[in-house]
């Protein structure tokens, strides 16, 4: 076999010159050998390379053939091809190999793992390997044509069938798909269901959208500072319509005109006694009258105020009255000299007044934006609060937490503040967005209801202490003037300047009633009521 490229012989040992012979790299394109024959020839050269005895010495001056790696662009890792010399009898040593990093022809980034399958990757790698081997065989023997490897295809099909996979699908994904439901899912019922559903659907509380009863209230005065509505413990509702006082019995439905004032005067305030037997009436001329509701007659009249009496509050036999001049008088109705003390700290009309249920403190609010908390044993206020920015008419002591007081401001304030009557600290506040005209605590729930004027003219129910608004009732066309709660704590009566008296069943008794911290002041009934002697 002859070579087209001449190969130089090795120089002798005696000829040690510093110059090195050049080696001409054979060209594959000009060689008549096929790539397979050339690969066999180079492998035989590599295996026949021997090291001379002079290499055992420390130095050698033998000229060595330069190693010329030959890169084959066939898609496989590159092989190092070096020249060779005559075969020597010295023992073989492994030749030094020069490693070359293969260039990566493709990008290994996987843009989407949802389209990746480990089983399919193995099958594809095997198919690529078989394709590469077939390419090499085709390049080695140009006379052979490429034919698909039927064994590899059969193997792929058998593996895919054993794994339960389809050849054209992929199994890996970032997260599994959501299971498909046979019926549509109502997301509203799924996420809005209560944590602990009630056992009985009838126990669910619903706020009314319409009033249970509506009565006419013609001639009522549209005055924010007056208190013209009250509900007794005997289920009698008293309302002042200009000069007349009417009493409506909630049990029988009868209406009685209890009194009519003198000309040029009008009723400015109404308050039932704790036993429900007597009703106190404040007049525009400063007089305070006490009437027996059952007998329909006036028991006594107490004079002395210089201006109208717009608000009153009972504590057993003590009746406190607030005047337009800012003074508060305490009347003992059992004695002839009825005035026993006077509280003076307001600079404007007193429009809110309420005793605590145990009689230890009195709260007052005025048109001077002040809230005073008075101790029953002192004539100076224990606390004076200036947080409101408008007149304070709405006052209410909590029935199940005695030292908790709620106060509501007028148009320029629109806030409800909650106070600790023991320390005088403000514990909570609500911005209602409307003028607050009255406040009523519930005895069934831990809630408070507020009536409002401009701009909403509605009723709002608030939870305490969370201060969450449980609902609103749009009941009147104009501002609500006053409100009163029924003896059982379930129904709220409201009167507005639209001359309508409406009854709302807001606190429907479903569960156990919230117990008050103290008992009834004088009980409920006329037998105990007659113990209080009025002169």
Q: Which residues contact 10 (CB under 8 A, 6 or more apart)?
A: 62, 63, 65, 85, 86
Distance CA 127, CA 131 (A): 6
Measure the CA–CA gap between 34 and 32, rounded to whole angstroms.
7
Shared domain check, 229 and 153 = no
- 53 and 147 share one domain: yes
Domain stops at, among 163, 196, 228: 163
Residue ranges of the chain with pLDDT lower than 70? Answer: 1-33, 35, 37-38, 41-148, 169-176, 181, 183-204, 510-535
190 within a domain of the structure (yes/no): no
Statement to judge: residues 232 and 145 lie in one domain: no
Give how far Cα 85 sits from Cα of 31, 48, 64, Å: 20, 8, 9
Q: What is the pLDDT of residue 98?
A: 47
pLDDT of residue 9: 47
- Is the residue at 528 inside a domain? no
Give the residue from 163, 182, 205 where a domain finishes.
163
Owning domain of residue 101: 2-163
Residue 525's pLDDT is what? 39
The pLDDT assigned to 82 comes to 43
pTM score, two decimals? Answer: 0.61
530's CB contacts (< 8 A; 6+ apart) are: 277
- Are residue 154 and residue 246 in the same domain, yes or no? no
Q: What number of helices (H) and strands (E) belong to the chain?
A: 5, 28
Does one domain contain both 152 and 269? no
| Strand partners for 431 | 415
Of 415, 350, 427, 406, nearest to 388 by C-alpha is 415
Q: Is residue 106 part of a domain?
A: yes
pLDDT number for residue 150: 78
Same domain, 422 and 293: yes
State how far the Cα of 350 lies from the Cα of 381, in Å rounded to an integer. 14
Q: Does residue 71 lie in a domain region?
A: yes
Residues 318, 330 contacting (CB under 8 angstroms): yes
How many structural domains compose the chain? 2
Contact 160, 123 (CB under 8 A): yes
Point out which residues pair with 79 in neighbouring strands: 70
Tokens 């008293």 — which residue?
Answer: 238
Instruction: Look up the CATH number of the domain holding residue 286.
Output: 2.130.10.10
Q: For residue 167, what pLDDT is reported?
A: 73
CA 399 to chain centre: 31
| CA angle (100, 104, 105) in 5-degree steps | 130
């Amino acid at each position: 076999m002859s070579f087209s490229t001449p190969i130089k012989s090795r120089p002798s040992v005696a000829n040690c010159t510093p110059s090195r012979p050049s080696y001409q790299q054979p060209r594959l394109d000009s060689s008549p050998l096929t790539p397979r024959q050339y690969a066999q020839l180079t492998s035989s050269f590599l295996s026949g390379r021997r090291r001379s005895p002079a290499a055992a010495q420390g130095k050698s001056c033998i000229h060595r053939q330069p190693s010329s790696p030959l890169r084959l662009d066939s898609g496989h890792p590159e092989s190092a091809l070096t020249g060779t010399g005559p075969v020597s009898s010295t023992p073989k040593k492994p030749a030094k190999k020069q490693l070359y990093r293969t260039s990566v022809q493709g990008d290994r980034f996987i843009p989407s793992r949802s389209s990746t399958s480990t089983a399919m990757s193995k099958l594809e790698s095997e198919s690529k390997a078989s394709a590469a081997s077939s390419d090499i065989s085709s390049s080695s023997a140009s006379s052979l044509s490429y034919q698909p490897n039927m064994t590899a295809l059969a193997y792929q099909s058998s593996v895919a069938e054993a794994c339960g996979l389809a050849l054209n699908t992929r199994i890996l994904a970032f997260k599994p798909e959501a299971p498909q439901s046979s019926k549509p899912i109502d997301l509203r019922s799924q996420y809005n269901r209560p944590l602990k559903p009630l056992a009985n659907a009838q126990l669910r509380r619903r706020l009314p959208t319409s009033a249970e009863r509506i009565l006419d209230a013609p001639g009522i005065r549209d005055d924010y500072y007056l208190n013209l509505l009250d509900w007794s413990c005997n289920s009698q509702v008293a309302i002042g319509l200009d000069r007349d006082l009417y009493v409506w019995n909630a049990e029988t439905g009868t209406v009685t005109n209890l009194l009519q004032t003198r000309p040029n005067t009008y009723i400015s305030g109404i308050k039932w006694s704790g036993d429900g037997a007597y009703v106190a009436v404040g007049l525009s001329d400063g007089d305070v009258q006490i009437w027996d509701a059952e007998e329909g007659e006036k028991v006594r009249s107490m004079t002395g105020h210089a201006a109208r009496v717009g608000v009153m509050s009972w504590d057993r036999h003590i009746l406190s009255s607030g005047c337009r001049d800012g003074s508060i008088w305490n009347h003992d109705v059992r004695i002839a000299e009825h005035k026993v003390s006077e509280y003076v700290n307001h600079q404007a009309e007193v429009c809110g007044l309420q005793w605590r249920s145990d009689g230890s403190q009195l709260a007052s609010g005025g048109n001077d934006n002040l809230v005073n908390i008075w101790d029953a044993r002192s004539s100076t206020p224990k606390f004076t609060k200036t947080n409101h920015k408008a007149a304070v008419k709405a006052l209410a002591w909590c029935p199940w937490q005695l030292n908790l007081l709620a106060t509501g401001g007028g148009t320029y304030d629109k806030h409800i503040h909650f106070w600790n009557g023991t320390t005088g600290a403000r514990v909570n506040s609500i911005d209602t967005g409307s003028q607050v005209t009255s406040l009523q605590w519930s005895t069934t729930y831990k809630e408070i209801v507020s009536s409002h004027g401009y701009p909403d003219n509605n009723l709002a129910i608030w939870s305490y202490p969370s201060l969450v608004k449980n609902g609103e009732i749009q009941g009147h066309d104009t501002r609500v003037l006053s409100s009163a709660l029924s003896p059982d704590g379930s129904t709220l009566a409201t009167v507005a300047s639209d001359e309508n008296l409406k009854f709302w069943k807001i606190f429907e008794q479903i569960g156990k009633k919230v117990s008050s911290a103290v008992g009834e002041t004088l009980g409920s009934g006329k037998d105990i009521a007659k113990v209080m002697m009025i002169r």
